[in-house]
């Protein structure tokens, strides 16, 4: 049977990589952020913020239920998104000595528990990787990719076949501005509005720096309802249905400015596509309507709810553990359970503009 010349051209172009098939997998994921997406970088740091202890990772099948440094019982949102978009393997922690050579071509995870946009954020943990350092580390990876592929092919790979995800900002409030005891730092020198302005301005510079290093496809998560997490409820002795006002007010202000920032960057940076992930509304939906989503509680954490340290140490061997981890919105006083991460990830990959805009992540991948 004869094949039309136009169809033959399309087939040849697709084979050569000129046309992207709808089910073509994502080549690489470069993950930046905090403990919500840390895949084990803090394992290699002398820090008080670690998750490489049981029962963290109890449902992470790849490790056989052993802790990997992920701050949840199973996969992070970044892990699940990568799976759904067809990535060959998880983005490996940058600080892992085995993250070298061709491994970096499937992506690298730079996220660090306790890290933030501001370099001062998370200092109570002694060591962590702030976003500036994470971008420094990507610059090293960028040079490695240049060496593996050559400069021209590396430029194309990074700009067209890689997604850069940034999940950060919560620690800038929880473990910086909102710390109950501060002798120095932003809270005594800046108003809440001034601090958020500084945060957004700093973040803009960091996103611009990633752009200059070749990144073009970005997904940026906003800050979730941090006044409603079990940790805040515990230390403020609130009822299950209550949330702490100031943290949420700061998050809402920041999120509005972040949305405007990304809209502006889409206009100002040629070839860039910045996607806004509305994590705040996604998590609030789970908290407000937890029964609809199959959960039994959104106020208590499965692991380490409250206790002597009120959740400052998120989850460890001496923590109490719930019977059915799939029924809890929160794994520990700070972090969502894998069951929640799965719901959130599905909305980010294939959801509507209420939660992910101007395109969802499957559409971003295929651009």
- Catalytic-labelled residue, pool 59, 79, 248, 332: 332
Active-site residue, 335 included: yes
d(CA 217, CA 273): 5
d(CA 295, CA 289): 9
Is there a cis peptide before residue 37, judged by omega within 30 degrees of 0? no
- Catalytic-labelled residue, pool 35, 165, 170, 337: 35
Active-site residue, 165 included: no
Q: Who contacts 208 (Cβ-Cβ below 8 Å, separation ≥6)?
A: 265, 269
Among the residues of the chain, which ranges form H helices?
5-16, 77-84, 131-149, 151-160, 170-172, 186-189, 192-212, 230-235, 245-268, 279-288, 338-350, 361-366
CB 93 within 8 A of CB 109: yes
d(CA 266, CA 272): 6
CB 196 within 8 A of CB 250: yes
Q: Which helix (H) or strand (E) is 301 found in, with range?
A: strand 297-301
- Catalytic-labelled residue, pool 27, 335, 337, 340: 335
Active-site residue, 155 included: no
**CA torsion angle 293 295 299 305 (round to 10):** -140
| Residue positions annotated with a catalytic role | 35, 332, 335
């Amino acid at each position: 049977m004869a094949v039309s010349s136009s169809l033959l051209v399309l087939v040849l172009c697709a084979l050569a990589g000129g046309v992207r098939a709808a089910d073509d997998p994502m080549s690489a994921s470069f993950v930046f952020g905090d403990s919500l997406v840390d895949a084990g970088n803090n394992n290699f740091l002398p820090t008080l913020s670690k998750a490489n202890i049981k029962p963290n990772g109890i449902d992470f099948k790849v490790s056989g239920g052993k802790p990997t440094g992920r701050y949840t019982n199973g996969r992070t949102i970044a892990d699940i998104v990568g799976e759904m978009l067809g990535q060959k393997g998880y983005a490996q922690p940058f600080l892992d000595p085995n993250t070298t050579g061709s491994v970096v071509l499937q992506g690298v995870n730079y996220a660090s528990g306790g890290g933030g946009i501001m370099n001062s954020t998370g200092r109570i943990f002694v060591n962590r990787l702030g976003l500036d350092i994470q971008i420094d580390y990507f610059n090293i990876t960028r040079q490695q990719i240049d060496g593996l592929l050559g400069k021209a092919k590396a430029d194309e790979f990074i700009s067209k076949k890689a997604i850069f995800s940034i999940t950060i900002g919560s620690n800038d409030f929880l473990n910086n501005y909102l710390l109950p005891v501060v002798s120095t730092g932003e809270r005594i020198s800046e108003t809440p509005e001034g601090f958020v302005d500084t945060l957004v301005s700093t973040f803009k510079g960091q996103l611009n720096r990633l752009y200059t290093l070749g990144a073009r496809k970005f997904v940026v998560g906003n800050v979730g309802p941090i006044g409603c997490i079990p940790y805040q409820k515990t230390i403020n002795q609130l009822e299950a249905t209550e949330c702490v006002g100031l943290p949420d007010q700061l998050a809402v202000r920041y999120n509005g400015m972040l949305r405007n920032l990304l809209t502006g960057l889409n206009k100002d940076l040629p070839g860039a596509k910045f996607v806004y992930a509305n994590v705040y509304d996604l998590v609030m939906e789970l908290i407000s309507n937890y029964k609809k989503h199959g959960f039994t509680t959104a106020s208590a954490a499965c692991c380490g709810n409250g206790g002597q340290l009120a959740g400052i140490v998120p989850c460890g061997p001496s923590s109490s553990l719930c019977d059915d981890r799939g029924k809890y919105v929160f794994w520990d006083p700070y972090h969502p359970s894998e069951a929640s991460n799965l719901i959130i990830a599905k909305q980010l990959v294939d959801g509507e503009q209420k939660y992910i805009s101007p395109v969802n992540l499957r559409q971003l991948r295929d651009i």
